[in-house]
Structure 1
Amino acid sequence: MNLSTRIKDLMNALSAGIPEREFCIELAFLTTIVREPFYLYGRSGSGKAIVIDRLVAAFKNAKALRIGRRVQEIPSKLSDYNLIVFQSYDVTNERQKESVQIALQDRAGTPVIISGDLRPEVALTRGEIVDKIALTVALPDSISASALCQLLTTPRDVTLTDIPAELTITPEESAEWKEKINKIAFSADALDMIGKLAELCDSNNIYVSIKKWMVLSNIAKAAAFFNGRTEASLMDTFFLGTNIWGRTISNKIIVEGYKKIALEILLKNIPEIHEKRYDADDLLARIDRLLNSSNNKYDTREFNNEACVMYKVTIAGESTPLYVPLRYIETDGDFNPYNELRQVEKRVRCNYHGTSNCSIAIDSAVKGIGLRTNVVRSSNSTLKTGKFEDYATLPTYILSENDPDIIAQKKIQREEIRKEVNASMERESKTLLSLRDTYRNLKQNRNELFCNQQLFDEILGQIKEEFDATSVLISKIKEAHAKLDGKAS
C-alpha cells in the first residue's frame, strides 16, 4: 500500500459515520502532522469530542494530555506528550486560559488542539492567543437531511473510535514525514496564490503574521507530500479558500478573494477572459444597420468624436440642444442622446423606429425646470425620476439619397466587419478550446486527498460558466458571418 492510499484510507476511517465533517478532519490532521496548534470550533453537539478522539487514535499509542475546565496542573515537560488537547475552552476561566497560554509557549513542537463553542474571534482574541493559533477548523452547525438519514441508519456507534492498526502513524513515521514535508518546494502557481492572498489581506487591513503564513505554507506542503508531489501546487492551497481565518469578516473577504484569484491563475493563459469580453450583440447590431439601412446622406456635425444630428428642444421656456449619434438613425430601439456637456442625457429618451424621424420623450421630473438647471445637472445621478412623456417627433434632414460616398463607405465597412468576424471567431475558438482543456485537467483532481470539494466545484463551475458564455459568443459570431454572406434564416 503506497502512502497516498494509506492516508486516504485513514481519512475515510477518521470520518466514518460522521458525514459532512470530512474536510474538517482532514484539515485538523494536516495541522497536527506539521505539529502546529489550531482551534476546533463547533456548537455543542457538533461532534468536536468525536473528532478529537479519532484524531488522537490516528497516531499509534499516542500519549495525549487532555485538559478540561476543572483545575489541572500543566506538566513541566510537555515534550513527553504527542498531543495536547484543551476541551471546552472558556476564556472566562482564568486558570484554563493561563494553562493554554503556558502550553502554547512551552509546547516544544507538540501539536495543540483547543476546542470550544465560543466563536473564534471571541475565543482567540479574549484568550490573547490569536497570534499563536495557526488556523480555525470550524465544524458545521448542522447537517443536511440526507446526511442525517445516513447517520441515523449507520450500524455502528459513531462515538466509538475504531481505527485499523495498520493505518495508524508511529512517532518515527511522523518525524520522518515532517522532514520530507519541509523539503517540499512550491510551484509558481502556489506562490502566486499565497502572494496575492497576502496582498488581499493587506489591502483589507487583515493582519496575518509572517509566522502564520509559514505555518499555512507548511500545511500546503503536507498536502502535496501526501498526494505524492515534490512541490506544492495550486490544489494544495485550496484550504486557504475556506473558513480558517478566525474572524467572520476575514473569512468572507478571503474566501471570496481566493476564488477570484484561483480563477485568474487557472485562466492565466487566456488573457481575453480577464478583459472586457467581445460584444457580439454590438457586432450583430452594426451588421443589421449596414445591411438594412438606406444609403442616404444626412445633415450631421461632429460632436463628442462622432457624427451627430443636432435637435433643439424647448423645455420650461429654455432652448436646449441635443445631439443624436448618426449610428442610431433607422434603428429600432430606445437610447439616450448627448447633452451640450457631452454627457449621456438620461432624462431624455429617443427612438427612430426604423425611420429617419426621431421621437423624443422627456422625464416628467424636469418638465417644469428644464434640462439646463444647475441643480438638476449636479444631482442628475440622484434625481428622483418620474414618468417619461412624449415630447415630439423631429425629422432628420436628408442631403442626398443613394449617395455614392455612403455606398462606398458601406462597402469598406462590410470588408472591415468581415475581417473582424474572422478574427473574433479565431480568437474565441482558441479561448473555448483552452477553457475546455483547463476544465478537464482541473476536474481530474477532484478526488485528491485534502481537496475541499465544495470550493473545488464552485471554481470548476465558474470555468464552465466562462466556457458556456464563450460558446454563446461563438454562436452569435457565426450568426454574424451568416448575415454577411446572406445565409441568415
Structure 2
Amino acid sequence: MALKQRITELMEQLSVGIPEREYCIQLAFLTMIIGEPFYIYGRSGSGKGIVLNRLIAAFKDAKALKVGRRQQEVPSKLNAYDIIVFKSYDPSNENIRNWVQIALQDRDRIPLIVSGDIRPEVALTRGDIIDKLALTVSLPDSISPQSLCQLLTAQNDVTETNINPDLTITQDEFGKWGQDIQKVVFSQDSLTMIGKLAELCDKNNIYVSVKKWLVLSKIAKASAFFNERTETSLMDTFFLGTNIWGRTITNNVIMEGFKNIAVEILLKDIPEILGEQYDTENLMKRIKRNLFTSNNTYDTREFAGETCVSYKVTIAGESTPLYVPVRYIETEEDFNPYNELRKVETRVRCNFHGTTNCSIAIDSSVKGIGLRTNAVRSNNNVTFKGGKFEDYATLPTYILKENDPDIIAQKKAEIEEIRKEINETMEKESKNLIRLRDVYRDLKKHRNELFCNQKLFDEILNQIKDIFESTSGIITKIKEAHELLVSKGA
C-alpha cells in the first residue's frame, strides 16, 4: 500500500466516532512523528482521554508511560518507553511540574504529550514550558448538533480503540521516517510564509524562539512527506494558521495574519490585485459629468489644488468663505466644500441638484457659534458634537461664457482619455480575472489533501473567490461605462 493511502486510512480509523476532532488528531500525529512534545488542551468531557488512547494506538506495540496526579515519580530510564504522556497537567502541582521538566530534558526524541483542562496560556506559562513545547492542540468544547445526532445513533463504543495493525507505525518506521522527513526541502512559498509570519510576530511583540520555528518547519516537512512530496508546498504550512500558539491573543493575531499572507502568496503573480481597486464609481461620475453638464465657463478661482466657485455665508453674525469645486456643478451629488483653512468643511453640506445653483445646509451645532470659530477650533483637534443638517441657503454660480468652445474641446479630450483608460483597464482586469480563476481552480484541487485543515482552507479559498467576484464586478461596471459612451455617440 502506498504511504499516503496508508496514512490516510490510519487517520480515518483514529478519528472514528469522535467527530470534529479529526484535524486535532492529525496535527498531534504529525508532531509525534517528528518526536516533538506538545500540549493537548480540552475541557472536561471534550474527549482528551479517547484522543490520547487513539494516538498511542497509532504506534505498533508502543510502550507508553502515563503519568497522572497520583504518580509518585517519573522512572529514571525514560528510554525504556516509546511514548510519554502527562495526564491532567496542573502547574500548581510542584511534583508534576518538575516531572515534566525532567522528561522534556531527558526524553531523547521520545514523543511527549502533556494533557490538561487548564487553558494553555495559564498552564504552560505557570509551568514555564510554553517555549519548550512545539505547539498546542486544542479540542473543541462541544460538537455540532448534527455530529451529536450521528454520535448518539452510532452502534460502536467510541471509547474502544480498533486500529488495523497493518496501518500502525513500527519503531523502525518511526526512526526511518524521521530521517526521511529531514531530507524534504522547503519551497519558496513555504519559506515566504514562515518569514512573513516571523515579521508579523516581531511587529506585534510576539516571541517565538528560533528553536520553535525549526520544530514547526519539521511538521511542515512531515506533512509534505506523507503527501509523498520531496518539497513542501504552501499547503504544508496551513497548520500555522490554526490555534496552535498557546496564548489566545497570539492565536488571534497569527491566525488572522496567516490568511492574509496566504492570499498574498497565492496571488504573488498578480500583486496589483491586492492593492486599491479601480474606482468604477469615479469613472461613471466623470463620464456623466462630461455628457450631461453644460459647456459653460464660470467665475472661479484656484483653491486647495482645485478650480472652485467662491461663496460667502453669514452664520451667527460672521461672514465665512466657502469654496466649492467646479466639478460638482450640475451634478446630483452631496458634498462638503472647503473652508478658508483649505480643509474639507464637514459641517456644511452642498448639492447643485443638476443645476448651477448650490444649495447649502449647515450642521445645527454651528448655528449659534458660526463656522469660522468652529473651523479654527476643529483644526486644533477640538471635537464638536454634531447635530442634524438644516437647509440654509441657495446661491447661484455666475456664468462668464455659455457654450464655451474651449470647454467643448476640453471635454472632447477628456472623453478620449476616458476611452483609452477604459480599454487599458478592461484589458488588465480581464487578464487578472483569468489568473484569479486559475489560482482558485488550482487551489481547490488540494482541499482533500492529507492533513489539510478544511475550515481554514475554505476561508482562504473564499477570500480568493471574493476577489474574483469583485474583479468581475469591476469589469461589468467598466462595460456599462463603455456602453453609456457608445449610446451617447461620445
TM-score, normalised by the number of residues in structure 2 = 0.98
How far apart are the structure 1 equivalents of 2:246 and 2:316? 60
Deviation at 1:381, TM superposition (A): 7.2
Which consecutive residues of structure 1, in runs of 5 or more, have no partner in the other structure?
none
Partner SS for 2:487: coil
Partner SS for 1:43: coil
Aligned to 1:307: 307
Partner SS for 1:186: coil
Are 1:66 and 1:86, in contact at CA under 8 Å, matched by a contact in 2? yes
Are 1:299 and 1:399, in contact at CA under 8 Å, matched by a contact in 2? yes
How far apart are the structure 2 equivalents of 1:103 and 1:380? 59
Q: Which moved more, 1:144-153 or 1:64-73?
A: 64-73
Q: Equivalent residues in 2 for 1:283-302 (5 A)?
A: 283-302=283-302
Aligned to 1:480: 481
Aligned to 1:433: 434
Matched, 1:444 2:445: yes
Aligned to 2:239: 239
Q: Equivalent residues in 2 for 1:398-417 (5 A)?
A: 398-417=399-418
Which amino acid in the other structure matches residue 93 of structure 2? Answer: N
Aligned to 1:230: 230
Deviation at 1:149, TM superposition (A): 0.7
Partner SS for 1:161: coil
Deviation at 1:380, TM superposition (A): 6.1
Q: Judging changes above 3 Å, is the alpha-carbon distance between structure 1 residues 157 and 240 closer, same or farther for their aligned structure 2 residues?
A: same
Partner SS for 1:231: coil
How far apart are the structure 1 equivalents of 2:239 and 2:106? 28
How far apart are the structure 1 equivalents of 2:242 and 2:274? 24
Q: Equivalent residues in 2 for 1:291-370 (5 A)?
A: 291-370=291-370
Partner SS for 2:137: strand
How far apart are the structure 2 equivalents of 1:231 and 1:121? 34
How far apart are the structure 2 equivalents of 1:252 and 1:10? 31
Matched, 1:162 2:162: yes
1:427-485 Cα offsets, whole Å, 9 max, x none, are 11111111111100000000001110000000000111111111111110000000111
Aligned to 2:384: 383
How far apart are the structure 2 equivalents of 1:27 and 1:260? 22
How far apart are the structure 2 equivalents of 1:382 and 1:16? 61
How far apart are the structure 1 equivalents of 2:318 and 2:424? 49
Aligned to 1:21: 21
Aligned to 1:274: 274
Deviation at 1:72, TM superposition (A): 2.6
Which amino acid in the other structure matches residue 109 of structure 2? Answer: G
C-alpha RMSD of matched pairs (Å)? 1.2
Which amino acid in the other structure matches residue 128 of structure 1? Answer: D
Q: Equivalent residues in 2 for 1:65-144 (5 A)?
A: 65-144=65-144
Q: Judging changes above 3 Å, is the alpha-carbon distance between structure 1 residues 252 and 381 closer, same or farther for their aligned structure 2 residues?
A: farther
Aligned to 1:453: 454
Aligned to 1:37: 37
How far apart are the structure 1 equivalents of 2:20 and 2:82? 27
Q: Percent identity?
A: 70
1:244-273 Cα offsets, whole Å, 9 max, x none, are 000011001110010111111111111222
How far apart are the structure 2 equivalents of 1:384 and 1:486? 47
1:108-153 Cα offsets, whole Å, 9 max, x none, are 1111001000000111011111121110000000000001011111
Which consecutive residues of structure 2, in runs of 5 or more, have no partner in the other structure?
none
Are 1:79 and 1:109, in contact at CA under 8 Å, matched by a contact in 2? no
Aligned to 2:424: 423
Q: Equivalent residues in 2 for 1:138-153 (5 A)?
A: 138-153=138-153
How far apart are the structure 1 equivalents of 2:366 and 2:465? 46
How far apart are the structure 1 equivalents of 2:98 and 2:306? 74
Aligned to 1:198: 198
Which amino acid in the other structure matches residue 323 of structure 1? Answer: Y
Partner SS for 2:121: helix
Aligned to 2:463: 462
1:368-388 Cα offsets, whole Å, 9 max, x none, are 111121663246673210111
Aligned to 1:394: 395
Runs of 4+ aligned structure 1 residues displaced above 4 Å come to none
Matched, 1:189 2:155: no
How far apart are the structure 1 equivalents of 2:67 and 2:359? 81
TM-score, normalised by the number of residues in structure 1 = 0.98
Deviation at 1:332, TM superposition (A): 0.3
Partner SS for 2:361: strand
1:307-332 Cα offsets, whole Å, 9 max, x none, are 11111111122111111111100000
1:375-413 Cα offsets, whole Å, 9 max, x none, are 632466732101111111000011111111011111101
How far apart are the structure 1 equivalents of 2:479 and 2:292? 19
Aligned to 2:220: 220
1:20-73 Cα offsets, whole Å, 9 max, x none, are 000000000000000000000000010001111010000111111111110332
How far apart are the structure 1 equivalents of 2:488 and 2:378? 48
